[in-house]
Amino acid sequence: MVDKNTLWDGLKESFRANLSPVTFNTWVESALPLSYQPPRFVLQVPSQLHKDYWERTLTPKLVEFAFSDFQAELEPEYVIEGEQPAQPTVQEPVTDTATPEVTNHANSLNDKYTFDTFVIGKGNQMANAAAMAVSEEPGTLYNPLFLYGGVGLGKTHLMHAIGHAMIARNPNTNVMYVTSEEFTNDMVMSIRDKTQEQFRLKYRYVDLLLVDDIQFFADKEGTQEEFFHTFEQLYNNSKQIVLTSDRLPNEIPKLQDRLVSRFKWGLSVDITAPDLETRIAILRNKAEREQIEIPDDALEIIASQVNSNVRELEGALARVQAYSRLQKKPIDEDLVHNALKSLNLESKPTLTIELIQQKVASYFDVNLVDLKGKKRMKEIVVPRQIAMYLARELTNSSLPKIGKAFGGKDHTTVLHSCDKIAESISNDAKLAENIQQLKIEIQR
């Protein structure tokens, strides 16, 4: 009998050969084999969404590959990693009605915003998976899909990616992308010009309606009224709606209750800021696509200095590139420092591991020597792990360097601590808040 890892390695290879790289990375790469006691094979997946997708789409393939590659009759089971939100509601499809002819608005989509160019990390894994699922089964699975989170974290990117993917599958798909302000202006103009009928045709007969930054519907009674009817018609015809906002529907001021409740019918997923590793991956990805020659060290400096959002991260890279062109010098660490200097990122005292240790020690009221030492009491171990985690997030120090600053610990111990805290953050709201406060304190 094969063991779970051999079995999974083989199955993964078959999936890799059989699926597109994007699909593979999203669903298969994130799964882990937990046990194999024939015929029962238990896979751990990151979220309910992943579980749904495996059960719905990938299970037949999994069973087929196991049979053809290992002559094994598998009964797969899926377990969600850690605590996850409740199962999302799955809507029943509603019967379709005839659609008048409308123009395709796909040209309003940015060509660069595809699933291929989207780097998956902890903060956006769920949102990416939800967006992919929606693009594969629009109108039935998660309708509407509501993506929310801070500025510049990839909400618009994912929205456009859904549009591109649907058009790639069916070139006749009518996609409409607007910001909520454009929707409002369009409506106001249609009233002024007495062209309301055209306005309705434009929005109510598409296959996919993407409305960005819906929080600007706050206070706009007329727009909300119109949007309500647009939503109803699309929804009743099983047309997919995707909305983004910087916050949850019920947190948008003066949003009609009936809209709030409708926005919650489908699935709401948040996107959070990328961690250091994801920021580096995003930069590397962008540098490769744009053929910017930049060494890894330089990428790490940018990623560790710009930790607010992806838009600023991209801005910093563009700045470094412009600097290198102007000065006719290749990009290296010095050039990066110079280029970023005027962004005032460096005007603050440089963040050191020592500073992080001091702040963490005083925040948790533990002795600095103990924090760096070897004592195993929980009151010290947790702050120590947090300090290591923050050192990794906020400085560009390597794991061995962090280990050294904590009394000569091995780099695997540091990595373990960082993973542990990252995991706890997603399960423990209080801890997440403490760490957020600490970050602000440290960066002040």
Ligand X SMILES: Nc1ncnc2c1ncn2[C@@H]1O[C@H](COP(=O)(O)OP(=O)(O)OP(=O)(O)O)[C@@H](O)[C@H]1O
Residue for token pair 């693009």: 135
* Min separation Cβ 154 and ligand X, Å: 3
Chain centre distance of CA 428:
19
152 is in an annotated binding site: yes
CA distances for 199 relative to 192, 204, 227, 234, 365, angstroms: 12, 8, 11, 14, 61
Contact with ligand X (CB under 6 A) among 50, 105, 157, 262: 157
Percentages of the chain per state (helix, strand, coil), in multiples of 5:
55, 10, 35
Nearer to ligand X, 154 or 383 (CB): 154
Q: Are 48 and 84 in contact (CB under 8 A)?
A: yes
Contact with ligand X (CB under 6 A) among 181, 314, 332, 370: 314
156 is in an annotated binding site: yes
Nearer to ligand X, 113 or 205 (CB): 113
Residue ranges with strand state E in 215-336: 240-245, 267-271
Q: Are 39 and 74 in contact (CB under 8 A)?
A: yes
Nearer to ligand X, 14 or 285 (CB): 285
Q: Which stretch binds ligand X (CB under 6 A): 15-23, 54-62, 96-104, 148-156?
A: 148-156
Nearer to ligand X, 41 or 177 (CB): 177
Nearer to ligand X, 26 or 417 (CB): 26
- Gyration radius (Cα) of the chain, Å: 24
Q: How far apart are CA 68 and CA 400, in angstroms?
A: 44
Window 216 to 255, contacts with ligand X (CB under 6 A): 246
* Min separation Cβ 181 and ligand X, Å: 11
Here's the x/- map for ligand X, 94-133, by CB under 6 A: it reads as -------------------x---xxx----x---------
Contact with ligand X (CB under 6 A) among 56, 61, 122, 311: 311
The token pair at 24 is: 């593979």
Q: How far apart are CA 223 and CA 401, in angstroms?
A: 55
The token pair at 52 is: 């749904």
Q: Which residue is nearest to ligand X (CB)?
A: 154
* Min separation Cβ 242 and ligand X, Å: 12
Contact with ligand X (CB under 6 A) among 20, 35, 93, 151: 151
Nearer to ligand X, 75 or 296 (CB): 296
Q: Which residues contact 6 (CB under 8 A, 6 or more apart)?
A: none
* Min separation Cβ 264 and ligand X, Å: 20
Q: How far apart are CA 154 and CA 134, in angstroms?
A: 16
Helices 221-236 & 180-192, crossing angle to 10 degrees? Answer: 100
Q: Which stretch binds ligand X (CB under 6 A): 254-262, 292-300, 308-316, 417-425?
A: 308-316
246 CB-contact burial (10 Å; exposed 0-12 / middle 13-18 / buried 19+): middle
Q: Which stretch binds ligand X (CB under 6 A): 61-69, 147-155, 232-240, 287-295?
A: 147-155
Q: Where are the alpha helices (DSSP H) in 139-242?
A: 155-169, 180-192, 196-204, 221-236
Nearer to ligand X, 155 or 384 (CB): 155
* Min separation Cβ 69 and ligand X, Å: 33
Q: Is 153 in the site for ligand X (CB under 6 A)?
A: yes
* Min separation Cβ 248 and ligand X, Å: 14
* Min separation Cβ 413 and ligand X, Å: 29
408 is in an annotated binding site: no
* Min separation Cβ 152 and ligand X, Å: 4
Closest C-alpha among 415, 394, 419, 395 to residue 403: 415
* Min separation Cβ 140 and ligand X, Å: 25
Cα angle 225, 263, 185 (rounded to 5 degrees) comes to 40
Ramachandran class of 291: left when φ > 0, alpha when ψ lies in -120 to 50, beta otherwise: left
Contact with ligand X (CB under 6 A) among 273, 280, 310, 351: 310
Contact with ligand X (CB under 6 A) among 33, 138, 139, 154: 154
Ramachandran class of 19: left when φ > 0, alpha when ψ lies in -120 to 50, beta otherwise: beta
Q: Which stretch binds ligand X (CB under 6 A): 60-68, 235-243, 309-317, 406-414?
A: 309-317
Here's the x/- map for ligand X, 327-356, by CB under 6 A: it reads as ------------------------------
* Bind-site residues for ATP: 152, 154-156
The contact set with ligand X (CB under 6 A) reads: 113, 117-119, 124, 151-157, 213, 246, 282, 310-311, 314
